[in-house]
Amino acid sequence: MNHENENDRLVELIVKFKQADDQAKLMEARAKKYKQKIRQIMDSRGERTLRLPHWILRLSLIKRSMMPKAQVPTEIWDQYAVQTQHETLFIRPAPRKNK
């Protein structure tokens, strides 16, 4: 496969990725609204757990504590720090060339 065909395929994949990403953002926003409505019902009932015939809902608060690396001695940081890693693909439009 030559670079021109490969670039065409890459552009096609980027367009599909952007469309899927946009749809995912819309679905995430919709899910957030449903979650808020469920939370309102749970709050109005004064319940943190609801049992329905096919569902069990439980409202939990999850906390995460962090410390700036600069404020922790190196030997303690090296011994106790938990590192997490994830891969991210950044896509943005290329700047237009001035003609």
How is the chain split into domains, by residue range? 3-80
- At residue 90, the pLDDT reads 75
Dig out the tokens for 25 from the structure.
């953002």
Digit-coded pLDDT (tens) for 82-98: 888 888 777 777 788 77
Q: Which residues contact 1 (CB under 8 A, 6 or more apart)?
A: 9
**What is the tens place of the pLDDT at every residue in 46-92?**
999 988 889 999 988 888 888 899 999 999 999 998 888 888 777 77
Report residue 35 CA to chain centroid gap. Answer: 16
